[in-house]
Amino acid sequence: MRLRDIAHARAGDKGDISNISVIAFDPANFPYLERLVTEDRVRAILGPLIRGGIERHALPGLGALNFVLHGALGGGVTRSLALDAHGKCLGPALLDMELPDR
């Protein structure tokens, strides 16, 4: 099963920081997400793009996890030579994470 099967993502950026929220379709799946979608697993998926730290914030009332990715955008939209330097494209990449069946 992929993360996209039980959650969706919203992402944004400011400077060289990307922010990704992973939101469970069903709040009953939040404990499963909280256990499996860790900073280490996010780094395993997005690793080459993230030069700085990764912070995870749990939002159980919303059934969501919020990840703050420092040094994720090649210096920021105005400084990067990347074709798409916006953090919005990182959400769909994270949703490709493989999760074990329960």
Q: How far apart are CA 102 and CA 99, in angstroms?
A: 9
Residue 79's pLDDT is 47
Q: How far apart are CA 40 and CA 43, in angstroms?
A: 5
Residue 83 has pLDDT above 80, yes or no: no
Contact 74/82 with Cβ under 8 angstroms?
yes
Q: How far apart are CA 18 and CA 35, in angstroms?
A: 22
pLDDT, tens digit (0-9, with 9 covering 90-100), for 52-63: 999 999 999 999
The per-residue pLDDT of the chain, averaged, comes to: 85
pLDDT, tens digit (0-9, with 9 covering 90-100), for 15-61: 788 889 999 999 999 999 999 999 999 999 888 888 899 999 999 99
Q: What is the pTM of this model?
A: 0.85
Q: Which CATH class is domain 3-94?
A: alpha beta
Q: Residue 20 is which amino acid?
A: I
